[in-house]
Amino acid sequence: MQTIKEQATEQQARALEQCTAEMMEAVGNILQQAEVQREAQERERAAEAHREAAEAGTEGGSESERSSDDEDASVNPDVLLADVDTSTPAQQRVAARVLRARSARRLVL
């Protein structure tokens, strides 16, 4: 038979374990939300860079000059993503998606 002190110690241990589990879950949720926000910001930046690149491609010059610029960019994808930071894996995934979308658009055109 357990003493009152042993029972209290076990109850405290269970309460501490439950509290720790809840805190870990909360921290996990916060980290997940932060990752989602960071990826959304990266997508925004990539979209902005894409818009700027598209605007730069439509400003001035003849259609043939713009076409040759597009061809140069298809050979060297860094031309289109020169201003996009790709230092993290998530940013690299976003840049890869942008490049795939551009390639698909060129195939359609």
Give residue 10's pLDDT.
92
pLDDT band at 13, cuts 50/70/90? very high
Q: Which of 37, 31, 28, 53 is nearest to 90 (CA)?
A: 37
Q: Is the pLDDT of residue 12 over 90?
A: yes
First vs last C-alpha separation in the chain: 82
Torsion, Cα 9 10 14 17, to 10 degrees, reads 60
pLDDT digits (tens, 9 = 90+) for 91-108: 777 777 777 777 766 665
Measure CA 73 to chain center. Answer: 23
Give residue 96's pLDDT.
76
Q: Are 73 and 22 in contact (CB under 8 A)?
A: no
What's this model's pTM, rounded to 2 decimal places? 0.43
